[in-house]
Structure 1
Amino acid sequence: MVVLLTGSVVLGFARSYYFAGFVHAPLPSRMIHVHGVIFSLWFVVLLVQTFLIPAGRVRWHRKLGLVSYGVAALVVLFGVLAAIDSLRRGVGIGSFDLSVSFAISIMDMVAFGIVIFSSYRARHRPSAHKRLVLYATLSLMDAAFDRWPYEQMRMHFSAHTYVYFGFLFFPGFYDLVSTRRIQKSTLWAFLLIATLYEVRIPMGSTHLWHLLSHAVAE
């Protein structure tokens, strides 16, 4: 799953970021550059952490865990700062207005923050820990899936929703096949992320959120 998610990120941002020179990519602001570096660093650390376990380097995995959670904190911080930067520059997500776009970005950070913090608390319970880390990462994937080259793949853009939820459902399917029941960590993390995914657009359309967005943009 980690390899698939990392590949999905590269596929989504290949043209605009990774193959466009990475640090030299023509991004709209310095904040978005920093956000891109931190976001990418999370996947590098995640890959390393994932492969340390089957390699038998559990002690290294635990030591690097402190660095991993430091990177996770930066993901949240710079994710929020990047959302504010886009709001102030008047750049929305797709056809959504600025308030809704801001809500989408913030809710992604809320989902990631809650689940990744829960994974830290479950670090001594490997079964729950690895599922929560995976779901925390899945909560970040919306932007990457939105940028897949759907036209070249002869698919309609609406397919991104099915792709996203397909990934969200997969750990539950794995649980059913491997343990014949859905683990509690899988269930609640899925429900949280799916709920925030569904409520962020209606929330971003409310008068109160418009007032908040306007205040932040000033």
Structure 2
Amino acid sequence: MDMTAPLHRPLSGERRFFLLLSGSMVLAVLTGFAPSYYLRSVLPPPATLQPATPLVHLHGIVFSAWIALFMAQVAFVAAGRRDLHRATGTTGLLIVLTMIPLGIATALAQVARRSGPPMLDPHMWLAMPLASVLGFTVLFLMALALRHRPAAHKRLMVLGMAAMLSAAFGRIVFIPPFLGLLVIPNLYTLALAAWDVASLRRIHPATLWGGLFVLMTTVGPIFVWRSSAWLAFAHSIA
């Protein structure tokens, strides 16, 4: 046995890159939701913040569990423990299948609570959270279907997370809401594209098509939420 061999392999550039991307997502969630949820008993909450209902608490618990598991799974891969990554995959699937209807229910409940931006009709704003749920759901299911193709799987997982980060970045007080809601989530697509070009000399198809879907679900709502068709739909389901 070579006693001079290192006990731990150093992180490859790719593993370090995806670990940093995932860590920035967790940091965004913790920062964005600290005043309104995680630390609302310590930090002064926004003046327009509505009291948390049992549904809001359930939503927060389940989504927080997913964020923690997502970070853990990325860390497992970075550490070379794909066995743990696969072992926790079923738990992740169960959490996500709970998040989808829970996210829709919470979005609909926001209309009655008028807990969206005060300057917007809540039926208009409903387009944003529902589009986030759609983006996350579609990209996660695609990532699951391509779990045996690691390059596509990891990119779609990151983009699925990016699709749901508008709510987090939009709540960070030192980031203008426009940038947090519409621009910053799409920077993850640009980061992936830059990594693809540097490492593959091309943009991976999962980055291209997944990134376009993130763009559609983060920016698309502002082009439809004033339309009579959307408002009629929003009133009918809310």
Task: With the length of structure 1 as denominator, give the TM-score of the two structures.
Answer: 0.89
Alpha-carbon shift at residue 57 of structure 1 (Å): 1.9
| 2:34 pairs with 1:14 | yes
Percent of aligned pairs sharing the same letter? 25
Change (3 A) 1:156 1:111: closer
Alpha-carbon shift at residue 94 of structure 1 (Å): 4.8
- In the alignment, the residues of structure 1 paired with residue 110 and residue 97 of structure 2 have an alpha-carbon distance, to the nearest angstrom, of 20
Residue 216 of structure 1 is matched in structure 2 by: 237
Amino acid at match of 2:103: G
- In the alignment, the residues of structure 2 paired with residue 124 and residue 156 of structure 1 have an alpha-carbon distance, to the nearest angstrom, of 39
Amino acid at match of 2:123: S
Larger RCO (CA within 8 A; separation ≥ 6): 1
1:83-123 CA-to-partner distances (Å, cap 9, x unmatched) read 01111223333522112211111111111111000000000
| 2:112 pairs with 1:91 | no
Equivalent residues of 2:140, 2:157 under 8 A apart:
yes
Gaps of 5+ in 1: none
Which of these two proteins has the greater Rg computed from alpha carbons?
2
Alpha-carbon shift at residue 47 of structure 1 (Å): 1.0
Q: State the SS of the aligned residue for 1:109.
A: helix
Change (3 A) 1:159 1:196: closer
Could you say what the CA RMSD is over the residues aligned between the two structures, in angstroms? 1.9
Amino acid at match of 1:57: R
Residue 76 of structure 1 is matched in structure 2 by: 100
1:184 to 183, 200, 205: 205
Change (3 A) 1:196 1:163: closer
Task: With the length of structure 2 as denominator, give the TM-score of the two structures.
Answer: 0.82
Alpha-carbon shift at residue 128 of structure 1 (Å): 0.5
Residue 66 of structure 1 is matched in structure 2 by: 90
Change (3 A) 1:117 1:102: same
